[in-house]
Structure 1
Amino acid sequence: MKLINPNPFTTRPEIVGTFGVVTSTHWIATAVGMGILEKGGNAFDAAVATAFTLQVVEPHLCGPGGDVPLILNSVKRGKTEVICGQGSMPAGATIAHYKGLGLDLIPGTGLLPACVPGTFDAYMLLLRDYGTMRLGDVLAPAIGYYLNGHPLVERASATISTVAEQFRTHWQSSAAVFLPNNEVPKAATLFRNTAAGNTYARILKEAEAGGGGREAEIERARKVWSQGFVAAAIDKFCRTQEVMDVSGKRNRGLLTGDDLARWQATVEAPLTYDYGRYTVCKASTWTQGPVVLQQLALLKGFDLDGLDPTSADFIHLQIECLKLAYADREAFYGDPAFVDVPMKTLLSDAYNDDRRKLVDPARANLEQRPGKVDGYGGVVKLRRADSVRLGVASSGAGEPTVGRVGQTNGDTVHFDIVDRDGNMISATPSGGWLQSSPVIPELGFPLGTRGQMFWLEEGLPGSLAPGKRPRSTLTPTLCHRDGEPYMVWGSPGGDQQDQWVTQHFLRHVHCGLNLQECIDSPAWHSEHFPSSFWPRTARPGVLVLEGRVPKATVEELKKRGHEVEVNDDWSEGRLTAATRQDPWRKAAANARGMQGYAAGR
């Protein structure tokens, strides 16, 4: 195989060591995770501490009220597993209720799109069953940064600026936290959220008060969250507050204390696909993760070895295959507890041999083309961007994503960890964004808005139902190589996540690039398919390229019929990645956004 390196240099070295590596979208979180490893914790202890710290230092990208899928491989258990930290919709969240409010989509802001917050219980399950440390050990860094402060990143300051008037006018509880002295906090200034810090400190105090061992302490913390003062504050806020959202009206929430008490994080097997020497593992169809597996099932029929990863051929083939995979996402994916998704067929050779014939190597297709599987979905709902009128108070709607829509937007967060024993974990926490829902005063943080991903009509895999999980865009990845756990990786970025995840994998596997070279390579994304977030629009044929993609490639892609838009040079994705190949542990992080770092030794 001819090795192609489009980067004569990289932004930073690939981290290599034997002790362990941590990589995340914020340097403080990476340092916290590495500190846990240095204190004798394993990858899962480090993951919990890293995750809680990311809630503090990137509050515009994730928060305690959000959601998380985690994928991991435990040496002790000897298998790859997924932890679902995606909460379900409230019992009162029926299509009839939203229709009765005059809505045709679930709003992207406010209280109506709130699911049960899933992060805390997922992290407690991870700590209890896979970790080794006490609750106080992994919560202490986050509590410290909440109470003592941290340097506010530029994008958090910019995000607060975009919603400052909305906070002052409609969400005064958010203004109280994020507009100290009624001013937008400047980047790099010391920022505190004492209310959220006190919430976690109280959870810890109540968990430790009952005595007993580590597991008893963790179980009490879970109960404090789901049945104690946290649940009570959420219940009261949703019952008593009418909150302005993108519908232009004030609406009360549906989430109750009973909803929180009934929900717990779960462990499940991943979906997998064999691609040469690799087995790629993703969460099930309550995420968009299987679109990576479907892309690989299609791309397996093309010879990618030796292609320049910035060439028109490489980009065109990936884009045309992802269009087919994402069309299937829209047509078939949904919570497998509610929807029978034909994944065996969607990943079969026969299905993909047939679908692959739709890929024209010389021409971009501008249609939505889901596959046909007897007895299953096959419908793609399409709302064109130019046909949608945005509602009032739309700031903060949808999932914040990297890309062409401006520098004030963020995305989500991600981390990957491998310890000296070979334990591996990848996670993409998100939701509970400061800009999307008002702060609950007693808790210091807002709820999530993931419910906006449901459709308000019957008969679709993504149709709303009480107790159902939305089909999340959050999608960490783990793969095996030659039968051994090998790599964990992922990126923030909404619908684009599994585009950048696939690009990273292809560059590594077919072009021979190391982790940092893969991340630093010029990247791209398609906006061809319906967005997962309010107002659920699509831009058929649109292909957004980083400015570093060669001009000859840009011109050739235009000739092939892509609606090409050229973005800034460093604007696509925030990938991080780590590998285990004994005795080595390797990691890399993205320089885009000036926040992500990898560490290890």
Structure 2
Amino acid sequence: MKKLYIFVLVLLSWNLQGQGLPGLGAGTTPNNKPILHGKSWVAITGKPLGASAGATIFNQGGNAVDAACAMIAATSTMWDVLSWGGETQALIYNPHTKKVIAINALGYAPTGATVDFYKSQGMDYPPQYGPLAATTPGTPGGIMTMLAEYGTMSLEQILKPSMDLAKGYPLEAQTANAMEAQKARIKQWPYSKKIFLPHLGEEREAPEVGEIFVQEDLYETLSKLVEAEKNALAEGKSRKEAIYAAYDRFYKGDIAKEIVRGTREQGGLFTESDLANWKVKIEEPLHVNYKGIDVYKLQEWTQGPALLQSLNILENFDLKSMGYNSANYIHTLYQAMSLAFADRDFYYGDPAFVDSPMEGLLSKEYAKERAKLIKEINDPKIGPGDPYPFQGGTNPYSDILNQNKEALASLPADQLNSSLDPAFIEAFQSGTTSVETADAEGWVVSVTPSGGWIPAVVAGNTGVGLSQRMQSFVLDENLNPYNLPEPGKRPRVTLTPSLALKDGKPMLAFAVQGGDSQDQNLLQLFLNMVEFGMDVQEATEAANINSYQMQSSFGNHEVRPGAIVLRKDTPAWVNKELVDRGYQIELWNKTSGPLNAIWFDWKHGSFWGGSSDYGDDYGIAW
């Protein structure tokens, strides 16, 4: 009898933990991937070779910023759903100042990129692909600024792993097959075709899986950056000045000239002034406090504040008592996100050009009013609120807001499309990668670099793939009057690294790839740990929900009200209750998204790294 009793208790413990709840012997149930325990450093990113690049830099004495820069460079070289002409967004915790720093290395709209221009081309939105989808390159400037300001190593040192990769590395399946799948589009652009399709005329024109993939033009471009740094050092310049000399060669020198020439040859709008005038911005991040934890996100040129708004709304509910992924919890989470993302879709934009009402949007009082709108069933017609009274102002777009509200209210239910076709999902979850690093000195870095994914237009003979981020603008002010394209303006993007501090010390660094689903998955990872007691690896692997009741930031910016993705092991009674509450459910094997996170164990002075089992994401710690 005693053995049977113990067996039942073990089964109960296993079942509770399998549902993401703390059970008997919490933390002992094996995850699909192990926790990364480290005392000196941890490096996690989208590909194993990218993590190896970070480990190499750490083993050479670099800090977390040095390692993050090397990892961004490596993953850009590997086309891990980004390339060198993309964009880099980062949050950095500086242990000396005890402050969180925001890095804005998002490119901007080039000369001539206006609403009227795109409409004159017969477009309802800027294109998803091609030279007219490109913002100016941001990733090189982001890497060099982070390294110069907060790193310790030379540019040559942190570029060595990526230069080795550019000389040739065995191509993994995801990237090789993406090249083959997109070859019809790639053939439109001569410099892309030269790189991605080395077997033209054969049945498979892209590289095979495992084939050594060589990028000679990119290697030459990176060599020029190293050469500029070396020349500056030889002239007696400091480490920092030498890195910025390489920065100037990219944005003002011969590299810039070739990027502009090659882009314009293929129909793009770049000018040399566009590249020369672009600058990386070092900014103050936004943050809210959730139950004693300060959560930091980038400003409203990203979707990051939507996570902060969601936390403010959810603070008005007892989530823990609902139970992890119960029907009531899922419904409350879905509604809170719908309210926050409705505000994102209407109000967020580049603060250098527009004055978004962030004080009101992030106020606790506004969140309480939004929380009152949550009903027992899904509201497919949730729209943006009016945050201006909560910051003592008057909404300059109240007419548009009211018109949209009236139009949505009068829309018949059968015209609210909640189906999830593959093309919509692919656009909605367009990829990026993430980079998370931390070291024993106290530096912490969370990055979501992106842009220039396959199929990318390559800018002339530079090997630099251009961003497709212009598609995140809209051309109709009724959708978002704050996010209309203008030369020099940054589009509102999905890219959204995260940091959380408790008692003034880092608690969690976390990021994920996946387009508009990013802050959904990040919100749930955070709540998994804070509300439901999961460790960092359990939280990255746990079943998440994905909502599509928000404007896609890609393609035609469509919405799928009530559409929800759940993991296949969600209990049938939960599914039934959600259907009764007005949701259209789709079941997937994995829903966690490729989450990467570092949790700080201050009691024992160590790091716990988590990397979900969703994709190729990988980490190394020591």
**TM norm. shorter chain > 0.5:** yes
Aligned to 2:449, the other structure's residue is in SS state coil
Alpha-carbon distance change, 301 to 588 in structure 1, aligned in 2, over 3 angstroms: same
**How far, CA to CA, are the matches of 2:531 and 2:82 in structure 1?**
33
**How far, CA to CA, are the matches of 1:371 and 1:157 in structure 2?**
45
180, 184, 190: which one aligns with 1:172: 190
Unaligned runs of 5+ in 1: 242-251, 403-409
- The match for 1:132 is 152
Q: What is the CA-CA distance between 1:458 and the residue it aligns to?
A: 4.8
Q: Does residue 201 of structure 1 match 2:223? A: yes
- The match for 1:411 is 431
- The match for 1:111 is 131
Q: Could you report, residue by residue, the CA deviation over 1:126-150 in whole angstroms, capped at 9, with x for unpaired residues?
A: 101100001111000000011032x
Q: Give % identity.
A: 32
Q: Could you report, residue by residue, the CA deviation over 1:336-356 in whole angstroms, capped at 9, with x for unpaired residues?
A: 111111111112222111111
- The match for 2:289 is 274
Aligned to 1:138, the other structure's residue is in SS state helix
Mapping of 1:305-384 within 5 angstroms?
305-360=320-375, 362-372=376-386, 373=388, 374-377=394-397, 379=401
Q: Does residue 71 of structure 1 match 2:91? A: yes
Alpha-carbon distance change, 329 to 285 in structure 1, aligned in 2, over 3 angstroms: same
Moved more, 73-82 or 544-553: 544-553
C-alpha contact (below 8 Å) 2:308/2:362 kept by paired residues: yes
Q: What is the CA-CA distance between 1:235 and the residue it aligns to?
A: 1.3
Aligned to 1:180, the other structure's residue is in SS state coil
- Residue 227 of structure 1 aligns with an amino acid whose one-letter code is K
Q: What is the CA-CA distance between 1:298 and the residue it aligns to?
A: 0.3
- Residue 178 of structure 1 aligns with an amino acid whose one-letter code is F
Q: Does residue 256 of structure 1 match 2:276? A: no
- The match for 1:405 is none
**How far, CA to CA, are the matches of 1:136 and 1:98 in structure 2?**
40
C-alpha contact (below 8 Å) 1:476/1:489 kept by paired residues: yes
461, 473, 481: which one aligns with 1:454: 473
Aligned to 2:125, the other structure's residue is in SS state coil
**How far, CA to CA, are the matches of 1:501 and 1:387 in structure 2?**
23
C-alpha contact (below 8 Å) 1:491/1:500 kept by paired residues: yes
Q: What is the CA-CA distance between 1:101 and the residue it aligns to?
A: 2.0
Q: What is the CA-CA distance between 1:487 and the residue it aligns to?
A: 1.1
Q: Does residue 223 of structure 1 match 2:248? A: yes
- The match for 1:536 is 557
**How far, CA to CA, are the matches of 1:216 and 1:301 in structure 2?**
50
**How far, CA to CA, are the matches of 1:148 and 1:155 in structure 2?**
17
Q: Could you report, residue by residue, the CA deviation over 1:225-255 in whole angstroms, capped at 9, with x for unpaired residues?
A: 10112211121123322xxxxxxxxxx2111
- The match for 2:545 is 524
**How far, CA to CA, are the matches of 1:455 and 1:187 in structure 2?**
38
Moved more, 86-95 or 411-420: 86-95
User: TM-score, normalised to structure 2's length?
Assistant: 0.87
C-alpha contact (below 8 Å) 1:398/1:533 kept by paired residues: no
C-alpha contact (below 8 Å) 1:457/1:464 kept by paired residues: no
Q: Could you report, residue by residue, the CA deviation over 1:535-556 in whole angstroms, capped at 9, with x for unpaired residues?
A: 2111111111222323332222
Alpha-carbon distance change, 498 to 596 in structure 1, aligned in 2, over 3 angstroms: same
Q: Could you report, residue by residue, the CA deviation over 1:110-140 in whole angstroms, capped at 9, with x for unpaired residues?
A: 1112111111111111101100001111000
**How far, CA to CA, are the matches of 1:590 and 1:411 in structure 2?**
15
C-alpha contact (below 8 Å) 1:69/1:476 kept by paired residues: yes
C-alpha contact (below 8 Å) 2:51/2:618 kept by paired residues: yes
Q: What is the CA-CA distance between 1:171 and the residue it aligns to?
A: 2.3
Q: Does residue 24 of structure 1 match 2:45? A: yes
Q: Does residue 557 of structure 1 match 2:578? A: yes
Q: What is the CA-CA distance between 1:202 and the residue it aligns to?
A: 2.0
Q: What is the CA-CA distance between 1:399 and the residue it aligns to?
A: 7.6
158, 171, 188: which one aligns with 2:177: 158
- Residue 189 of structure 2 aligns with an amino acid whose one-letter code is W
User: How large is the Cα RMSD of the aligned pairs?
Assistant: 2.4
Q: What is the CA-CA distance between 1:38 and the residue it aligns to?
A: 1.6
Q: What is the CA-CA distance between 1:387 and the residue it aligns to?
A: 12
Q: What is the CA-CA distance between 1:401 and the residue it aligns to?
A: 5.9
- Number of paired residues? 571
Q: Does residue 425 of structure 1 match 2:445? A: yes
C-alpha contact (below 8 Å) 2:33/2:612 kept by paired residues: no
- The match for 1:298 is 313
Q: What is the CA-CA distance between 1:572 and the residue it aligns to?
A: 4.1
C-alpha contact (below 8 Å) 2:173/2:209 kept by paired residues: yes
- Residue 254 of structure 2 aligns with an amino acid whose one-letter code is F
**How far, CA to CA, are the matches of 2:504 and 2:320 in structure 1?**
21
C-alpha contact (below 8 Å) 1:4/1:306 kept by paired residues: no
C-alpha contact (below 8 Å) 1:453/1:471 kept by paired residues: yes
Alpha-carbon distance change, 387 to 562 in structure 1, aligned in 2, over 3 angstroms: closer
Alpha-carbon distance change, 105 to 401 in structure 1, aligned in 2, over 3 angstroms: closer
Alpha-carbon distance change, 297 to 571 in structure 1, aligned in 2, over 3 angstroms: closer
**How far, CA to CA, are the matches of 1:386 and 1:519 in structure 2?**
31
- Residue 197 of structure 1 aligns with an amino acid whose one-letter code is Y
Q: Could you report, residue by residue, the CA deviation over 1:61-97 in whole angstroms, capped at 9, with x for unpaired residues?
A: 0111101110010112321010101111113212222
**How far, CA to CA, are the matches of 1:70 and 1:376 in structure 2?**
32
Q: Give structure 1 regions of 4+ aligned residues with deviation exceeding 6 angstroms.
A: 380-388
Alpha-carbon distance change, 470 to 348 in structure 1, aligned in 2, over 3 angstroms: same
Aligned to 1:112, the other structure's residue is in SS state helix
Q: What is the CA-CA distance between 1:498 and the residue it aligns to?
A: 0.3
Higher helix share: 2
Alpha-carbon distance change, 398 to 10 in structure 1, aligned in 2, over 3 angstroms: closer
- The match for 1:6 is 19
**How far, CA to CA, are the matches of 1:286 and 1:519 in structure 2?**
26
**How far, CA to CA, are the matches of 1:257 and 1:585 in structure 2?**
45
Q: What is the CA-CA distance between 1:283 and the residue it aligns to?
A: 0.4
- Rg larger in structure: 2
- The match for 1:407 is none
Unaligned runs of 5+ in 2: 1-12, 21-28, 389-393
Q: Does residue 503 of structure 1 match 2:524? A: yes
Q: What is the CA-CA distance between 1:6 and the residue it aligns to?
A: 1.8
Moved more, 291-300 or 349-358: 349-358
**How far, CA to CA, are the matches of 1:40 and 1:449 in structure 2?**
36
Aligned to 2:619, the other structure's residue is in SS state strand
User: TM-score, normalised to structure 1's length?
Assistant: 0.90
Q: Could you report, residue by residue, the CA deviation over 1:522-570 in whole angstroms, capped at 9, with x for unpaired residues?
A: 1221111111111211111111122232333222211211111112x12
